[in-house]
Homo-oligomer: A and B are copies of this chain.
Amino acid sequence: MYEKKDDDNSDMASLFEPESIAIIGATPNRGKIGYSICEYLQASSARKYYVNPGYETVWGEKCYASVLDIKGSIDLTIIATPSFTVLDIMKDVVKTSSKSIIVVSSGFGETGTAGKEAERKMLEMVRKSGKRMLGPNTLGLYFPWRNLNTMFLTLDRMKLPPKGKIAFVSQSGSVAAVQMDYASEHNIGFSGFVGLGNKVDINENDALKYFINHDETGVISFYLEDFRNAREFLELSKNSDKPIVVLKAGRNPGAARAVASHTGSMAGPDRIVNAALKQNGIVRAFDEEELLDFSRALSYPIRMKGKRVAIISNAGGCNIISADYVEEKDTRGKLELAEFSDETHEIIKSVIFDFASYHNPVDLTVGAPTEMYDKVLDIVKKDDNVDAILFLALFQAAQIDDNFYEIVRKHSLNSDKPLVVVTLGGEYSSKMIRKFEKDGVLVFPSISRGVRALRIMSYYNSIKYYNSIKSH
């Protein structure tokens, strides 16, 4: 039996950074999964070997009848053939030099007992041969730092995210597809994506180890329906300097039953999951929107070191809605309204209108000219009683001019305290949000999402700090 060493990531490197790839099930037939995979692999500089007994050539290159006919060395083999052929093909693949294997084919453990038995055989083969296997029933992987996309997603009605800092690991192909598509529209960069599929060999812990050591990754984000080895996951997370966000689905009985029918695994009581994640410095998300929002917030280069929030805008009503959320009780961390120093109060008072409010939340009122925002942001950022700023950048006010965008951008990017921007409204505001996103400003289109991002930044700091105290 192959025993892998804990810190050995070389097998995962063959998966994410292959120099050579064999594609079994390569085909010139548009509409087939093997076609899409070959199509997207053209962007990769890896040496490609096409395998399909039905063709002499595909994609303008030689097509091999069997993977055994390939003379060169292979880092990664992708199997995208009907399920009934997979076990026989695996028998050949494990005889080659291929270090890892992605089994895209579905129709295994997720379909019942016979499928589970086939998976047991696959695992035996990969363990005996010292290889690693992703899948079966996996969407594959996307690694933009190497222009590598092994996925079969049709890109007619969706797009992939740009290069960036978020690593995403998903036990669901559909969640992965919608997340990547969303990220593409909002310019949220991914450092990599892995679809775990049925997790027969490679599981979330292998991916976690890889991304913890991957320089371009800043945050590691998971959609999981079960843990293959929870103890190891928690231990790895606890020691990670990179924030980890987990959407663990199946919290409630009916959803847990759906998980069981989806993955075949049974979940323990959810409050234990909750506590374990928190104790090990892991942030929990409850839905697809939170998962990306939190990952974005925690990949923001500036950390929030306390819980005191200043709120600034030209909009009294929106300030109050925001203040309500800041003060709200929440299991994921406590925020409070910052109390400015006397000096801050005096300086704010001297720059804003007589009838405007210089207390937190600061209401500059709708007639505030653009420079006023600049001055007030400068003052509030310097107050030691403030850990972060929620700035409502509302473009509806007639008095602001074209410099307004630039002032918000400047304060967001040049700050030692997080500045979260909330922009509300319609078409024009949506355009400004896209622009902020492109420029790396942490912006949200609703008050609740903006405040929640701050809450999570503060929460992460507190659970990480608490854990580092405990372990000393």
Contacts and interface: CB of A to CB of B under 8 A. Distances in A.
Interface of A: 107, 110-112, 153-154, 156-159, 170-175, 177-178, 181-186, 223, 225, 247, 249-255, 257-259, 261-262, 286-289, 313-321, 323-328, 336-337, 354-355, 357, 359-361, 363, 366, 394-396, 398, 424-430, 446-448
Most buried by B among A110, A156, A174, A250: A174
A174 B366 contact: yes
Contacts of A255: 320-321, 323-324, 327
Contacts of A448: 286-287, 289
A396 B321 contact: no
Nearest to A161: B426
Contacts of A154: 398
Contact of A320 (B156, B225, B313, B324): B225
A231 B110 CA distance: 58
A317 B182 contact: no
A289 B156 CA distance: 31
A396 to B, nearest CB: 4
A363 B261 CA distance: 10
Nearest to A431: B157
A321 B287 contact: yes
A219 to B, nearest CB: 20
A74 to B, nearest CB: 28
B254 A337 contact: yes
Contacts of A398: 153-154, 156
B318 A175 contact: yes
Contact of A262 (B173, B251, B316, B327): B316
B289 A178 contact: no
Contacts of A327: 251-255
Contacts of A184: 426-427
A425 B182 contact: yes
B323 A252 contact: yes
A158 B425 contact: yes
Contacts of A185: 425-427, 430
Nearest to A326: B254
